[in-house]
Amino acid sequence: MAIFDTLGISGSGLMVHRKWLDAVSDNISNINTVRRTDEDAFQQRFVVAQSVDYGSGSGGVRVARAEFGDPQGRMVYQPDHPLADEEGYVKYPDIDLGDQMTQMMIAQRGYQANLAVVERATNMYQAALQLGKG
């Protein structure tokens, strides 16, 4: 394990959690996106993380892929909506706000934990440099 691997591993964790937060914020901001019934609904995005060189102490984590929710969405009866079909239905994404808020809190905590590791490692490296000056 190299001396700066801690920063690299935690930095990769920061990147994954930031992308997770981006996906959640995109999902929340499109929760009320209305489409016509003959179109696909907005598809929520899920970030799938994967370890890199697990167990080596030098790998970290990365975003393996993004997965998407159901394009069918949910049909809502709103006959006065301009996008409503002849039966009065429109299509909304099938996104649960409570689930998205939970995902946001988990991603936020992971980001904060990785940031704390980066800050502590930086302080440790700076303290080690100060020892050499004394």
Confidence (pLDDT) at 34: 97
Confidence (pLDDT) at 23: 97
Do β-strands 61-68 and 45-51 pair in parallel, antiparallel, or remain unpaired? antiparallel
Q: Is the pLDDT of residue 133 over 80?
A: no
Q: Is the pLDDT of residue 14 over 90?
A: yes
Is residue 78 a contact partner of residue 36, using CB atoms and an 8 Å limit? Answer: no
Give 41's DSSP letter.
P
Domain boundaries along the sequence of the chain: 5-133
Q: Is the pLDDT of residue 57 over 90?
A: no
Is residue 13 a contact partner of residue 112, using CB atoms and an 8 Å limit? Answer: no
- What pLDDT, in 10s, does the model give residues 67-94? 999 999 999 999 999 999 999 999 999 9
